[in-house]
Structure 1
């Protein structure tokens, strides 16, 4: 087991059912079925609904890799099209959270024939265990990849303490 436990992906169940155009609902259901056939957790067009039941922007789920090194873990997250200033990494109460937003680069979708790329907010959280030194986590961002280095706590080997014998 790694020193990280995923708490959530960016996909969240809607708090209220989404009502609307029946063709949109059918399209969403077909996308979900195709996604399940090809092993995707959810279709790219999955949307979160607001309290009022209206659909909001789709949530993104960045793909991550976690590697266990000798003295640290490396977590890399693919964030293509996301600017470094739009990424936030925080640790609070033993939970590492990566949040951000991939912004639509045009002012409007007018004139678009096909828009397949996803835009919107993302959030991934991981519970850190006691083997990770949360105070010394570092992050770098290059070519759309966020790389976090999570150092392991140095193992403290107990040393015997000499006790003087008096007589």
Structure 2
């Protein structure tokens, strides 16, 4: 049995009246790079997988989700703290990702989006040849200094 708190209902009423977050809620998210792809994970507990929508428009990734709660006909609520809500998150992907191969999965309330790095954005070695003698200069797209290699 919970103890009675006369201010709890007043606090809940004030929160509902003055809550400025009436629009879509932001979802907590992690983003990291793992080799040749980025991984985005977002918490969406209590969300029906059918309501999750992930789309890409140009370089803008948009994640939308909707949490609906059943009203329960003939039910007398004792307390109801969970709210129906819509969630929205938008990210600008930049130019270094392959938007055609983005994939997403939803398991146990966590949305995982895999964003591959484009072939153009991956580090690569560029070989530079010299016409003076038989020397070949190798250059790398990194902070390393070019080195001279004799053939």
Q: Which TM-score applies when normalising by structure 2?
A: 0.65
Which of 108, 111, 122 aligns to 1:146? It is: 111
Give the whole-Å Cα distance in 1 for the aligned partners of 2:51 and 2:92. Answer: 22
Give the whole-Å Cα distance in 1 for the aligned partners of 2:127 and 2:72. Answer: 65
Is 1:125 equivalent to 2:90 in the alignment?
A: yes
Deviation digits for residues 103-150 of structure 1, max 9, x if unmatched? 113346952121111322111100011111111101111111110000
Give the whole-Å Cα distance in 2 for the aligned partners of 1:83 and 1:140. Answer: 13
Alignment of 1:1-167 (within 5 A): 27-28=14-15, 46-48=21-23, 59-107=24-72, 111-154=76-119, 155=122, 156-160=124-128
Alignment partner of 1:122: what SS?
Answer: strand
Shift of the 102–161 alpha-carbon distance from structure 1 to 2, 3 Å rule, reads farther
Number of residue pairs the alignment of both structures matches: 119
Which structure: larger Rg? 2
Structure 1 residues not aligned, in runs of 5+? 1-22, 33-42, 49-58
Q: Which TM-score applies when normalising by structure 1?
A: 0.60
Shift of the 71–101 alpha-carbon distance from structure 1 to 2, 3 Å rule, reads same
Structure 2 residues not aligned, in runs of 5+? 1-9, 132-151
Give the whole-Å Cα distance in 2 for the aligned partners of 1:109 and 1:135. Answer: 49
Q: RMSD over aligned Cα, in angstroms?
A: 3.1
Between Structure 1 and Structure 2, the one with more strand by share is 2
Alignment partner of 1:27: what SS?
Answer: helix
